[in-house]
Each structure stands twice: as C-alpha cells, then as structure tokens.
Amino acid sequence: MTDFSDKVVYQIYPKSFRDTNGDGFGDIPGIIEKLDYLQELGVDYLWLTPFFPSPQRDNGYDVSDYRSVNPLFGTMEDLEALIRESRARSMELMLDMVFNHTSTEHEWFQRALAGEEKYQHYYIFREGAPDRAPTNWQSKFGGSAWEYVPGLKKWYLRLFDVTQADLNWDNPEVREELKEILRFWKDKGIRGFRFDVINLVSKPAQMEDDFEGDGRRFYSDGPHIHEYLKELVRDARIGDCVTVGEMSSTSLSHCIRYSSPKEKELSMCFNFHHLKVDYKDGDKWALMAPDYRKLKELFVKWQTGMQEGSGWNALFWCNHDQPRIVSRMGDEGIYWKESAKMLAGMIHLMRGTPYIYQGEEIGMQNAHYPSIDQYRDVESLNYYEILLENGKTKEEALATLAARSRDNSRTPMQWNKGAFGGFSEAEPWLPMAAGFREAITVEAQQKDGNSILAFYKKLITMRKQYPVIAKGTIAFLETENDMTLAYERTLEDQKLIVLCNLDGKEQKIKISPEWSSCPVILQNGRRTEADCPSCKDTDFGTFLTDTGRTLTSEEKTCTMKPYEFVVLGNRTLKQL
C-alpha cells in the first residue's frame, strides 16, 4: 500500500476549468495549460470529473463509453499528454469511475432495450403494470426511481436521472466489465480512482416499498458492498493506487471498513454528514442556517471514530455538487478572506487527505443567478419545478436554488479579470458567478502574499514539512463555546494546536495552560493586543501578534476575532 497521508488532491471540473478552443466548454488542453499553476500550488493528485463520451444530461455522470474521451473535451492523445505532463510535474491523475449506473445511451443499455437478454441482466429490470412502479423508491433527482419501458413491458431502476440506469452488480459479468475498465485505465498510467456513489451499488435481491423514507435505507451500504469492493480492487489490481469512494448517506462503521488498510477496499471515503447541518429536517431543499454545534459534533465523531477504527477520511468542504463554502459557512463581505482561510485551515490540519475543488483556493463564491434561465443542472431544474408544485413562489424557489444548486460550484474558473475570467474567449456554457471581480481571480491573488491562494499554498507546504499533520493523532479540545473549535495533533514529541472561530462575531475560547509557550505557526489575520482586552494582562494577547512569540497564560478564556484561525506548535515543531 502506498503511503498517501501527506498528499493533497485537487478536483478539476473540466467543463469549467479552461477552454482553449473557444467553444465555451473547458477542455483537456486547458488543463495542460494550467499544470504549472497546479504544480506551484503544490497538489499531488488531480481528480478529473468524467470526460468520457456522454449525452451530458448529468454533466458526464451519465457515461456512454468508459474507455474514450468525449470530443467536447479533446482526444485520447490529449489525455495521454495530460498524464505525461502531469507526471513530469510530480502529479498523478485520479479518474472518476461512475459504476453505479450508465447512460441509457451506453451500448449495454441499448442492446438491453433491443431485447438482448444478456444485457437486460446488466441492469435492474422488473416486470410490472405500467401504472405501478415495482417499489415506491424516489430518485435522488426527484420523482420515482423507476422508469417504464413499454416495448419491454418492464421497469428499470434509476436512482438518479431517467437517462442513468442502475447497473446490476449481482451479475458477475457486470463486475468483470468494470474491472476491465479499471485495468484499461491503469495500463494507460492512471494511479488514482474516485468511485462515484459507490456505496449504492449493492441492491437487495428482494425490493420492497419504503414506508419510512425514499428507499435509501435498503441500498445504501447494501448487502454485498464490502465483498464487491474487495473483489474489484483485488481483481483490477488497483490496491497500489489512491482510491476514494463517494459514500452517500453512509455510516461511520461502514466507512471504517471501506477505508481501513487491513480490509483492502479503498484508501479513503467521502461522507456528507457535515454538509447537511444546514438542511432543515434533513431536506436539502429546505433552507436553514448551519447548526454549528452539530457540525462540531460530526467532526468529533468522524475524526475520532475513523482514527479509532484505523479508517481514513477525505477532508473537504467543496466539490461540483456542493455550494461554495465561503458563501455557505463563511462571509462574502468584509470577512471574505478571513473566513475562506479559516475554513480551509480548519479541515486541512485534521486527520485525513484534503481535497481542494477548483476555485476554492481563491475563495470563489456562489453563482447568485437572478433567473432560472441561467441554471443548467438537471437536479436544480427538476427541483425548481417540484418546489413550484409544492406551492412555493418563483422567488422562493429561486432563493432556494441560489443557496443549494449544484451550479453554484460549476461556474467558470476565474483566472483573470477578462470578460469571461480568462476561462474562455467565448460565452461560457454556464454563466460566470454574479460576484465575479478581480479580487477573486488567480492572477490577482498570485501577486498578493496575503491572499487566500497564498494561504492554501502554506497549508499544503506545512503538510509536507510537518509529519504531525499527515500522520499525527487528533484530539478535540473543549472550548466551552459552540462557535469555536479547537483540536490538537500529536506525533511523538511534535504537537500542533488549531483554534478556529466559526462565527462572524467575536467569540470566547477557553485556553488551557498546556498551550503555554507555544509559538504561532500560522494565522489568518493580524492580531494586536487591543484585539483581546480580556487577556491583556497575560502574554496571550501578544503571543498572537506575530509568529514566534510565546504564550504564558494561566487557564482562562480569550477572545477570538471574527473567523479567526490560529495554529500553535510546540518548540519541536518550530525547529523544523
């Protein structure tokens, strides 16, 4: 098993990264063009969301051919050049394997439709009357999870869009096909794989109605999931690659099994519990302010739980399905910089592998589209209709999308202050974020040593410099305040203490005498003695003024500035 604990992954959404041929869609040559930037940032793996042939109903998560490149993004030669050029800069690619479902345009599904029984067994078809779906399960994109095919007099399962038909993993032939796809890409030089909604692939043999929920409790972390993953990894010979599974509505005990090295399943897992703390009653489409107490509890649970079980977390706030974190839990106004840095530091120094989603490193914000015509995402368009049907006004529905739409993260990457942010010469496929301005561009932040971009670089450098970040244990500290979070990382005699104020207001944090004489390693702002009148009489107020001062306080509380972030390290660390 390769040691990946000091690695950092950067996620690229190719469609919105950089367009080189002026068609408004990002492409693979555009990624090659930006490799120097990525190397400079210091990341190790580039996760590319799907670039395979696809009708693009779900932006490539509806794959119609797993072994080719969609001409929209370039050619196989472009991809080979990308692999080569990345490696020349010490970076590896991580491909996105969408194995829960295929596009209905995939040859397998087309042959199933044409009546070939072999291929009907590749999917989950059920007999049934046209007016009664086999179960009452709901699609994740809204509506029934079943679609009727009159020609076959059968229904097929589709947990996502109607054009994304779920594969039948209980059929060994399907599992063999998927292994071959992995071997194909490994032979091309791919050393990383991200598995899309992989914990949904094992469905129960008998499917029944769900009278408590939408059906997910029957197929999430399903009956044969661990068996199938072990077999896939072993037979495709990808045990030496970095692998991450996207786990939908999962549990801690399953994630320990997915990612504990002794199980020989995956390197790590994404879970989404911490990104549901602003869902009212668990409903993504019901707005609520984030519940910070719950957020803290979830970090404590998953960080310490995965540690105890020898599992490994993927650490992330952002991806192509999530709104921008600075808009969601930070501040788009005066504390834009501070909050973006605090949120970054908070997760990068935890135990696990950090993921940066394109644009996060420059504090990109939500799209703030004023009109429904600007949205492209199938889930957003479906839910807009559902919200209207449920009696919401257009304004309310738009406000909900503005906070929750996946298009928030898919707006074009902001490279420079040009008309389309240096993303393209032409009108992009998805409009620029409404708040696009020079300060939120790579070019501006490269010139500023105090930028969000510079801060991300520091975090990555620290991970490589201080083994305590990659390999240390984690323990959370009692701050006696829901709005402040503190944890310590320990590796032999090295120790780091991370202090975060999650709020846009000043907040108290409890200081333990144990933290005394610890120099500041990193902070997200400038602090003066006047910022903390309560500890003026101790050195705590001054130790935060700049790196290298010491703390000699008694146990007491200190005031942290809005979104303040401070990392203390013990002397051993300082000497590194």
CA-based R_g, the chain, Å:
24
Tell me whether residue 227 is one of the annotated catalytic residues: no
Q: Is 71 helix (H, G, I), strand (E, B) or coil?
A: coil
Closest to Ca ion by CB, 23 vs 65, is 23
Q: Are strands 154-157 and 125-127 parallel, antiparallel or unpaired?
A: antiparallel
| Chosen from Ca ion, ligand GLC, none, partner binding at 21 (C-beta under 5 to 8 Å by type) | Ca ion
| Chosen from ligand GLC, Ca ion, none, partner binding at 23 (C-beta under 5 to 8 Å by type) | Ca ion
CA distance 194 to 426: 31
Q: Are strands 154-157 and 484-491 parallel, antiparallel or unpaired?
A: unpaired
| Chosen from Ca ion, ligand GLC, none, partner binding at 278 (C-beta under 5 to 8 Å by type) | none
Least spacing, CB of residue 378 vs ligand GLC, in Å: 8
CA distance 17 to 414: 9
Closest to ligand GLC by CB, 57 vs 489, is 57
Least spacing, CB of residue 328 vs ligand GLC, in Å: 17
Least spacing, CB of residue 29 vs Ca ion, in Å: 8
CA distance 377 to 401: 11
CA distance 361 to 340: 8
CA distance 370 to 355: 30
Closest to ligand GLC by CB, 197 vs 346, is 197
The binding site for Ca ion (CB under 5 A) comprises: 19, 21, 23, 25, 27
Q: Which of 468, 473, 478 is nearest to 509 (CA)?
A: 478
3-state per-residue secondary structure call for 210-274: CCCCCCHHHHCCCCCHHHHHHHHHHHCCCCCCEEEEECCCCCHHHHHHHHCHHHCCCCEEECCHH
407 binds ligand GLC (CB under 6 A): no
221 binds ligand GLC (CB under 6 A): no
Question: Given 58, 92, 246, 265, which residue is catalytic?
Answer: 246
| Chosen from Ca ion, ligand GLC, none, partner binding at 170 (C-beta under 5 to 8 Å by type) | none
Closest to ligand GLC by CB, 356 vs 502, is 356
Question: In the bound complex, which residue of the shown chain has the CB atom lying closest to Ca ion?
Answer: 27
Find the binding residues for ligand GLC in span 320-339 (CB under 6 A): 320-321
Closest to ligand GLC by CB, 161 vs 361, is 161
CA distance 259 to 76: 32
Answer for which of 181, 197, 340, 474 binds ligand GLC (CB under 6 A) is: 197
Least spacing, CB of residue 229 vs Ca ion, in Å: 35
Closest to Ca ion by CB, 27 vs 221, is 27
Tell me whether residue 36 is one of the annotated catalytic residues: no
Beta strand residue intervals within 86-145, DSSP E: 92-97, 101-103, 125-127
Answer for which of 27, 58, 332, 360 binds ligand GLC (CB under 6 A) is: 58
Least spacing, CB of residue 20 vs Ca ion, in Å: 6
Residue 398 forms beta bridges with which residues? Answer: none
Tokens of 385: 């209709």
Angle between helices 394-404 and 378-389 (to 10 degrees): 150
Please count the other Cβ atoms lying within 10 Å of the Cβ belonging to residue 201.
Answer: 26
Q: Which of 30, 356, 7, 359 is nearest to 191 (CA)?
A: 7
Answer for which of 61, 99, 109, 122 binds ligand GLC (CB under 6 A) is: 61
Q: Tell me the per-residue interface mask from 230 to 259 with ligand GLC, x by CB under 6 A, - otherwise.
A: ----------------x-------------
160 binds ligand GLC (CB under 6 A): yes
Residues that bind ligand GLC (CB under 6 A): 58, 61, 98, 160, 196-197, 246, 320-321
Residues serving a catalytic function are: 196, 246
